Amino acid sequence: MAINGREFIRRFEEYCPLWMAEEGDPVGLHIGTLDKPIQKIMMTLDVRPEVVEEAKAKNIDLLIAKHPPIFRPIKRLTSDDPQNRMYMELVKNDIAVYAAHTNMDIIWDGLNDWFCEMLDVEVSGYLTRTHVEKLKKLVVYVPKDNAEKLRQALGDAGAGQQGNYHHTSFTSHGEGRFTPTAEAQPAIGKSDQAEVVEESRVEVLYREFQEQEVLAAMFANHPYEEPAYDLLSLDNHPVTYGLGRVGSLSEPQFLDDFVEKVKKVFELEGLRLVQPVGAENPLIQKIAICGGSGAGFYPDALVKGADVYLTGDVSYHTAHDMQAHGLTVIDPGHNIERVCIPRFVEKMKAWKKELNWDVEIIPSTTNTNPFQYK
């Protein structure tokens, strides 16, 4: 039996949350609906007319793309325009399109980590901070006999994750007092009669983005009509996330050797190299990497002390600035992000096995690189 599209995306977003995308990045569902059975999913880097033809030929129900197909608002939807015609073909063939863009770059064990892994760069941190995720605490009062069920439900919803531990909580006991009004429907007691109940105070930590799920679990598993609870913002060490990665090679190597490795790993016919004037073939060890168009983050690579910055789409004048600041830059192009295709297919197949989904997951085989080397 085919799974529902929302069921699949729910698991996808546990790994690659929408909130982790950069502000203004149009991630999420772009075309179609997720409220339908999904029998076949295809992973792609880009959504281009050739990819749409491939999806049609292979009877794809859902396309997962790295690059959002609708990056800027559409002013007119006419079939005379090739881009619009592509959108119309997707709608006509009931192919839903979902995009994960900068969130795929920022998550740990995401695209930039895979680049580092492929180049044998040991990651020490991110290149530039994008998100600060604070911890919060839920304090809830519940009849003592219901405390264990509530603690379990809160833990199952993700509360109580602390380092290598899960379902952590603290419980203390006391007396709860209340008087139901005539309009109340109390789980314990009667209208207009004061009640004293032996209650437990349950405390759990959770990450900000989990609040909706944690509160839903609390309300679903609390016997009271009106649970008493507090939400507290904490100043404990926040979790931070960022674009790009910084790391080191296990030992210094010559720049020329590293350049050849980049070409081999990413199967490149050529790449662009920016070096300080007068530089030849230095020994390098500290590497900064930011997939896609990361030229604007080169000052962060300088601050982090990188010997080499690897990123795509470096413009002429920005290259001059990089050169003047003494930074060596390797531009292998934007298309190396196609690494996301086999990696995500592998992950999605693991989710399929874990959750016993009846769905086929395949990679796109269409080459969407617009550049050729002659």
pLDDT at 3 over 80: yes
My answer on whether 222 and 274 are in the same domain is: no
My answer on whether 208 and 292 are in the same domain is: no
Residue of 239, 290, 15, 7 whose CA lies nearest to 127: 290
**What dihedral do alpha carbons 311, 312, 317, 321 form, nearest 10°?**
0
My answer on whether 172 and 195 are in the same domain is: yes
In-domain check, residue 373: no
* Tens digit of each residue's pLDDT (9 = 90 or more) over 47-69: 999 999 999 999 999 999 999 99
Stretch 236-263: mean pLDDT, rounded?
Answer: 95
Facing residues of 363 across strands? 43
Instruction: Say how far residue 204 (Cα) sits from the centre of its chain.
Output: 25
Stretch 359-364: mean pLDDT, rounded?
Answer: 98
> How high is the pLDDT of residue 327?
98
In-domain check, residue 372: no
In-domain check, residue 368: no
pTM of the complete model: 0.84
* Tens digit of each residue's pLDDT (9 = 90 or more) over 281-315: 999 999 999 999 999 999 999 999 999 999 999 99
DSSP conformation letters of 72-107? S--S---TTSHHHHHHHHHHHTT-EEEE--HHHHHS
My answer on whether 288 and 318 are in the same domain is: yes
**pLDDT mean across residues, the chain:** 96
In-domain check, residue 119: yes
In-domain check, residue 374: no
My answer on whether 66 and 114 are in the same domain is: no
pLDDT at 203 over 90: yes
* Tens digit of each residue's pLDDT (9 = 90 or more) over 148-181: 999 999 999 999 998 789 999 999 999 999 999 9
> How high is the pLDDT of residue 238?
82
* Strands 239-254 and 121-133, sheet pairing: antiparallel
In-domain check, residue 369: no
Q: HEC profile for 20-50?
A: HCCCCCCCEEEECCCCCEECEEEEECCCCHH
Stretch 256-261: mean pLDDT, rounded?
Answer: 98
My answer on whether 307 and 254 are in the same domain is: yes
* Strands 328-331 and 308-311, sheet pairing: parallel
In-domain check, residue 190: yes
pLDDT at 271 over 90: yes
pLDDT at 230 over 80: yes
Q: Please, are residues 20 and 108 in contact by the beta-carbon 8 Å criterion?
A: no
Stretch 239-247: mean pLDDT, rounded?
Answer: 95
Domains held by the chain: number? 3
* Tens digit of each residue's pLDDT (9 = 90 or more) over 104-127: 999 999 999 999 999 999 999 999
The conformation of residue 225, written as its DSSP 8-state character, comes to S
**What is the SS3 assignment for 306?**
coil
Phi, psi of 294 (to 5 degrees): -105, 20
Which domain range does residue 322 map to?
108-131+242-333
> How high is the pLDDT of residue 64?
98
> How high is the pLDDT of residue 109?
96
Residue at which a domain ends, from 202, 233, 264:
233
DSSP conformation letters of 99-119? E--HHHHHSTTSHHHHHHHHT
Residue at which a domain ends, from 185, 209, 233:
233
**What is the SS3 assignment for 146?**
helix
H/E stretch holding 234: none
**With pLDDT > 90 as the criterion, what percentage of the chain qualifies?**
89
My answer on whether 248 and 125 are in the same domain is: yes
- Band (pLDDT 50/70/90 cuts) for residue 1 is low
In-domain check, residue 165: yes
My answer on whether 151 and 26 are in the same domain is: no
**What dihedral do alpha carbons 168, 172, 177, 183 form, nearest 10°?**
10
- Indicate which CATH number applies to the domain containing 90: 3.40.1390.30
